């Protein structure tokens, strides 16, 4: 008598037959979900890379502006010569002050 139950889960599971159309639907749903997840992950990765690319472009632009503001080689050589001249003048003044102290 227990095997004649029509409303129990066991009897429904025993009578259930999974046919090709049902399996095809399951496979289709799984494939659809998998492709959706892959597309979501791909778009997330693309957006992250795009943001990083924007930041890198801004940094390169900033570096170019800083390099344009820096003096060129002849200007640096003139500045170095001026510093050496000032150093010599300071040295001469220091020796004169030391000579006066004696």
- For residues 37-43, average pLDDT: 96
In the chain, DSSP finds a helix count (H) and a strand count (E) of 3, 0
The DSSP symbol for 3 reads: G
To the question of pTM greater than 0.75 for the whole model, the response is: no
Reply yes or no on whether the pLDDT at 3 is more than 60: no
Is residue 7 within 8 A of residue 1, CB to CB? The reply is no
The DSSP symbol for 6 reads: S
Rounded Cα gap, residues 25 and 33, in angstroms = 12
Rounded Cα gap, residues 85 and 81, in angstroms = 6
For residues 90 and 22, the model is more confident at 90
- For residues 27-55, average pLDDT: 94
Reply yes or no on whether the pLDDT at 51 is more than 90: yes
**pLDDT by residue (tens digit) across 85-102?**
999 999 999 888 887 766
Mean pLDDT lowest among 8-22, 25-39, 74-88: 8-22
Domain boundaries along the sequence of the chain: 18-101
């Amino acid at each position: 008598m227990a095997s004649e139950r029509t409303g129990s889960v066991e009897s429904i599971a025993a009578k259930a037959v999974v046919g090709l159309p049902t399996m095809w639907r399951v496979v289709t749903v799984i494939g659809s979900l998998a492709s959706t997840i892959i597309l979501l992950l791909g778009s997330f990765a693309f957006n992250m890379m795009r943001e990083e690319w924007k930041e890198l472009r801004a940094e390169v632009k900033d570096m170019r502006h800083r390099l344009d503001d820096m003096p060129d080689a002849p200007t640096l050589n003139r500045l170095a010569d001026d510093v050496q001249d000032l150093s010599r003048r300071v040295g001469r003044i220091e020796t004169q002050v030391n000579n006066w102290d004696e």
